[in-house]
Every structure is written in structure tokens, then in C-alpha cells.
Amino acid sequence: MPSRGLDLPSGGPPQIAWESLDPVLLHAITWFASVGPHKWHGKLWTPSLPLPTPLLDFHSRPLSGLQNVPSATSGTNKQTDKQQAPTKTTYISSTNGMGVIKIIDFFPLFFFSVPFTCSVLCAMSAVYAASLLLFLTAFFLRPRISLSATNLRAGYYSETCPSAERLVREAIRAAMSREPRSGASVMRLQFHDCFVNGCDGSVLLDDTPTMVGEKLALSNINSLRSFEVIDEAKAAVEKECPGVVSCADIVVIAARDAVALSGGPEWEVRLGREDSLIASQEASDEIMPSPRANATALISLFARFNLTVVDLVALSGSHSIGEGRCFSIVFRLYNQSGTGRPDPAMDPDYREKLDALCPLGGDGNVTGGLDATPTVFDNQYFKDLVQLRGFLNADQTLFSGGETATKEVVERFSRDQGAFFAAFVEGMINMGELQTQQRGEIRRNCRVVNDRRPTAVFSEF
């Protein structure tokens, strides 16, 4: 199954997100690489490699990760399960508490044999020695991170935080009792998180002076909401199990709970994700679809993530609950495809209702139900599409957009709620498997990355 882990191209060295490394470590690596090839203990490293692979063997489980996760900066990821067998293990500890790194047999000799150390240093030039020491110092004092593959599974927190799922559900139930719409808003967060570089909680990050996050992306600004509900769930979990449950996992749990508490299906969620260290407005703008998207474009988008037409239609059924803004439909009412006329694929009576709700030049933030039962998770959404009463263009196009494949699935789900529920659960699980290959952490606050000031503690066995 797809899993988070270090991206290991076949036959090649680890691929590191250099932009997220600590500046001192990056400087040390650059300086050390500049002195030329080195040969230690029978192993050769050349500066052309991204990391001195003979020095480090990153301990990871077998990787079988996602082969095609689009992003703004990278193409297809490939992995291999190849591992080495180092003789010693060193744990690096810091304030964000993550990661295990194995050091090959060179290091026990280097650190624990004084004569060998002296002979090596004496043999080196002054530049070699200074470069090596700077690299090692920067490496061991860097914040501890996880580079291990994470296998998602049900019951992931059964031992480390057995109350996690219960606490999240209680927080979602409380939020929905205050505002029923918050359930749909929370459920949307998983879609907007997972499609942008995997399910890593990046959509939750606030902007910083050096990073414009995903909250200001075109599909999210003035649209995504209920971030405070995730904050409440996270606070409840942190109080009982500090530093254990990721924000990314809380989003996935909360989405499931929002559906179930609205009358929809229950399912077992697969957990074990980590939280990203960065977010990207650019990546979100590149990937997330517009409310104006047509069926053909949506099929192509989902195919990029190995999601099927059935996944597309079933996950669009998340609009069985919630509301949409007038801003998203005024073009359908008054200027569909630049014609100056309303969308012909709209029931006339329904159009009159929407005209009254969303007059031309009116408040674009006024909202209307996405289907006729916006607080109940059911198959009414599909019945509405068949009757040409879809709220969003991206919804109605599934039935009226000329794609036979999506139309047939819409018709089937409109007749069979059980089939819709089963396909929706499968689609949510499949979407939840989309994983980034970047390093991560367990955030203490879902809106900001952890303080990365390091401390170093070593234990060797």
C-alpha cells in the first residue's frame, strides 16, 4: 500500500528536500562536498551524490509507495526496498523527537578508537579535517527527523494513544451541535489536504513571513473553514497523549466522523501519517479543481492520483452535506461559458430559486445547500443531479457534461444508496493513501511547525 517514506530512486541515493534542511547543515554538506572524492574504510563517495551514502544508511521499512503523486516541483516518485546492514545504531534526540539513523561501521571505529582517529586526522589535509568535523557537528546537532517509511494501518494508536479516535469524535460532535455545517467543512479538509502533495496536514498551516501556505489558494480562500474544529480535536488529544497523534491523521479521523454523524457510513480509518514542515499555495493552485471544472477535466485530475471514475463520482457525493457560495455559481446563472445566458443544464424552477438567492451583483458569500438535504449524508445529491438540480457546475457536469462513464455512475447511485455508501468509503480510503515522500513530524499545534531548536543525546548499542 502507498506509504510515507524517504524517496529512494532505483539504483540511486536518497533524495533529500534540500530547501527544508537547516542552513548550517546544508552549508556543511556543500563545503564538505567541495573538497573532492573521499575514500574511507573501503567505501567511495563522490560529491555528485546528494548525500554521503556510505556514511549513512537510513533505517526504513520496505517501501512500496505511491508511484505518481503530482506536485508543483516534482514528477513521478520511484522507490526501492534495498537496505544495508550497519553494525551500530545511534539515536539522535531533539525537541521534535523523531527519527532513527543508522551509522555504518566506519563510525564506531572513528569515534571509539582514539589511535585510529588520530591516524586518520593526521593523514588528512587541514581542509579535509575541518570539513569533516564541520559536517559531523552540523549533522549530529540537527533537529531529529523521521526518514522512515510509515505503513498506514487501522488501530495505529491502539497502544500509544488508545483514546485518540474517541476524543476526535467527541470534538466533531460538539462542533456539529453548535453548527451543523461544520461537519461538511471538516470533511472537505481531507480532500483539500490529500490532493496537494499527499495527506500531510499542510492545508492546516498558517502563513509565515517566509511561506505562503494553502489557505490562500484560489480554491481555499474564503471557502475552506472550520480549522478551529481541528484545533479543538488536536488540543483534546494533546492533553491526553502529547506529541503522539499527527494533525494529518486527525483530519482523516474527523472527516470519517463528520460523515458518520451526518447519517452516512462508518469505516475503519488507516492511520500513521506525519505532518509536513511546509505548505505551498502554488501547489494547491496547480492541482485543486475549480467549481467551473467539467467532467472531462475532473476525470483527468483523478486519474493522476490513480483514482477511478467511480472514485470521482463517489467522492463528489461528499456534497451530499454542506453549502456552497453564490460566488461559485453566478456564472452558471448569468453567463455560462461566456454566452451571457444561464446554464441550459439546469432545471428552470431550480434556476429561479437560485436567481433569488444569488442575484447578479449580490453578495457572493451568501450560501445555499449543495443538495436538497444539506445536513443529511444520503444519495439525494445524485437524485438532484439527475433532475438537473446540481448546485455547482462541477457537480452537474458529472451527469450533463457529456461523459457517459460519469453519467452512468450518477444514475446508479441515485437509485442505490448502499452502492454509493460502499463506493464512497472505498474512495475515502484510497484518497487517504496519497502520501508525500517528504520528511515530517508530529506537530504540537496544527497551525505551525514545531520549534526546531535542537538538542543532542546519543545512545549506542
Whole-angstrom CA distances from 289 to 84, 141, 192, 297, 384 are 43, 42, 10, 8, 22
- As annotated, the binding site for Ca(2+) includes 193, 196, 198, 200, 202, 214, 371, 373, 378
Chain centre distance of CA 283: 12
Separation CA 283–CA 148 (nearest Å): 24
Separation CA 298–CA 309 (nearest Å): 9
* Helix 404-415 × helix 309-316 angle, to 10°: 50
SS3 call for 422: helix
Buried b (16+ CB within 10 A) or exposed e, 12-22: ebbbbeeeebb
Separation CA 145–CA 284 (nearest Å): 25
Phi, psi torsion values for 69, nearest 5 degrees: -105, 105
Separation CA 405–CA 388 (nearest Å): 17
Q: Is there a catalytic annotation at residue 192?
A: yes
Whole-angstrom CA distances from 85 to 52, 57, 60 are 16, 8, 11
Catalytic residue among 27, 38, 59, 192: 192
SS3 call for 343: coil
- As annotated, the binding site for heme b includes 319
C-alpha cell at 192: 483539500
Contacts of 153-158 spanning 24+ positions with Cβ under 8 A: 153/270, 153/271, 153/272, 154/268, 154/269, 154/270, 154/271, 155/271, 156/249, 156/270, 156/271, 156/272, 157/241, 157/244, 157/245, 157/249, 157/271
For residue 282, give every residue at least 6 positions away whose Cβ sits within 8 Å of its Cβ, in sequence order, or none: 72
- As annotated, the binding site includes 193, 196, 198, 200, 202, 214, 289, 319, 371, 373, 378
Separation CA 3–CA 426 (nearest Å): 17
> Which amino acid is it at 155?
G
C-alpha cell at 412: 446508479
Catalytic residues: 192
